[in-house]
Amino acid sequence: MELLYKSTRGGEEKVTASQAILKGLACDGGLFVPENIPQFTTELKAWKDYGYKQVAYEVMSLYLTDFTQEELMECIERAYDDKFDTSAIAPIVEADGAFYLELFHGATIAFKDMALSILPYLMTTSAKKNKVTNDIVILTATSGDTGKAALAGFSGVAGTKIIVFYPKNGVSPIQERQMVTQKGENTYVVGIQGNFDDAQSGVKKIFGDKELVALLEEKGYQFSSANSINIGRLVPQIVYYVYAYLTLIREGKLNEGETINVVVPTGNFGNILAAYYAKNMGLPINKLICASNDNKVLYDFFETGCYDRNREFILTASPSMDILISSNLERLIYRIGGEDAKKNSELMNSLAGKGSYSITEDMRKQLEDFAGGYASEEEMEAKIKDLYEKTGYVLDTHTAVAASVYDQYVSRTGDRTKTVIASTASPFKFAQSVLKSIDPAYDKLSDYEQIDVLAKVANVRIPNAIEEIRTAPVIHDHVCQKEEMVQEIKHFLGI
């Protein structure tokens, strides 16, 4: 039975999965959501001995119903290959009473690889299915990780071009180096003088620029997105929570049917929304713990029912969470609002206009699956140091925020349910901040000296993603004001 997708704002006809992937953002500015969240059609225990690719097929086939088995399996096989440094794809490490789901074993050592390794293949397959002859222009804003993962995924893919905007002074040195050294004639990277929200708002505005869209069409191009607003990003993220649960059963760490809690360091709300979808499909998840850094707009939302971006934007050592407009939250708001597109549009228009909105008490009652928390920079640093000294296991800054929030949650509630913490980046991606947390004396070392020291401290091999950029030349040195993003796009496309 075919599953169709609709816009959270109600102004677009229902579309197939492949059409939703191609469009990225709905024409009315809304996000595509499935008509209903599919349910697991077999008992989960039947999959407990499956590898990652098999689990990916079983989960994704429930959402991408217009893909044939052969098409979907080919996308999966091409995505989850030897670019991952472990056959497990997403291994689990137990440390100090929690299970860390390592999502950083792909080509760019961040969790975005889990979805962005497959998105190019989903997109090019979707283009063929829908007889699209235009080149697809991937337009993406990044707070650090999505950019490189998308660039790596789309580089050299025929029929595509990719343009990434990032906040010039809002990503880590390693993150920036990974992006600006990216090879590929179809890639273009631009730093903007502004923050991530400026970049993301600019990209959304460009998607709604009908005059520009028409010009691109005339020149043989069409926009799509690699951000988590694209349903082709969200669906692959559901897989790793299902795989994590099955892994814990297979390893005897969990009984069949036993519930777990999930903690996710959260910025744009896509990763934790994927866990929410998994729960609604039938995965035995109890609490979804949403971890924020000092930019605690989501924590305040879960506490008060008011989403308010009117606040200071704080640059932290966990830059992928330095976000005040969490785009994927719209999908949750739409669902808890009874899938009322008119009501949802009013709330989103309020966010765009006033910078805030408030949900009703009835909607708040439907958020009982969630718990919010936040960790300051000091608490994040303390967690890295404490876990390292106790176990020798080293966390990156984002995962440390999640681990600190989990400690607070247990202290506050006494809930000792077995817990999976999404470990979203390699500590090598944020070596300076990680080492400084362990011992401030390391802060005096250069970037690459810190990489070498971290390898010894953590007792792990330096990832290829880091080794490759040590001597790689800078290819992309473009910087613009946030008002100049359209000009940059036209420049790259030669229009």
Instruction: Cite the active site residues.
Output: 112
Query: If residue 363 lies in a helix (H) or strand (E), which one and from where to where?
Result: helix 361-365
What distance in Å separates the CA atoms of residue 91 and residue 105, rounded to the nearest whole number? 9
Choose among 146, 219, 154: nearest CA to 187.
Answer: 154
Alpha helices, DSSP H, located in 117-230? 119-129, 145-154, 173-180, 196-207, 210-218
Residues pairing with 431 in the sheet: none
For residue 361, what are the CA distances in angstroms to 335, 368, 484? 14, 12, 42
What distance in Å separates the CA atoms of residue 469 and residue 66, rounded to the nearest whole number? 39
What distance in Å separates the CA atoms of residue 245 and residue 373, rounded to the nearest whole number? 23
Residues pairing with 261 in the sheet: 419
3-class SS at 222? strand
CB proximity list for 40: less than 8 A, separation 6 or greater? 62, 281, 282, 283
Choose among 139, 148, 160: nearest CA to 465.
Answer: 148
Query: If residue 455 lies in a helix (H) or strand (E), which one and from where to where?
Result: helix 447-458
Tokens of 45: 């225990």
Q: What is the CA radius of gyration of the chain?
A: 21
Q: What are phi and psi of 284, to 5 degrees?
A: -75, 75
Tokens of 263: 């903690």
CA angle 199, 106, 58 (to 5 degrees): 100
3-class SS at 474? coil
What distance in Å separates the CA atoms of residue 117 and residue 337, rounded to the nearest whole number? 33
CB-based contact 3:24 (threshold 8 Å)? no
Tokens of 149: 């993962």
CB-based contact 316:377 (threshold 8 Å)? yes
What distance in Å separates the CA atoms of residue 39 and residue 33, rounded to the nearest whole number? 15
**Helices then strands, each counted (H, E), the chain:** 21, 15
> Would strands 356-358 and 478-481 be described as parallel, antiparallel, or unpaired?
unpaired
CB-based contact 137:206 (threshold 8 Å)? no
Query: If residue 419 lies in a helix (H) or strand (E), which one and from where to where?
Result: strand 419-423
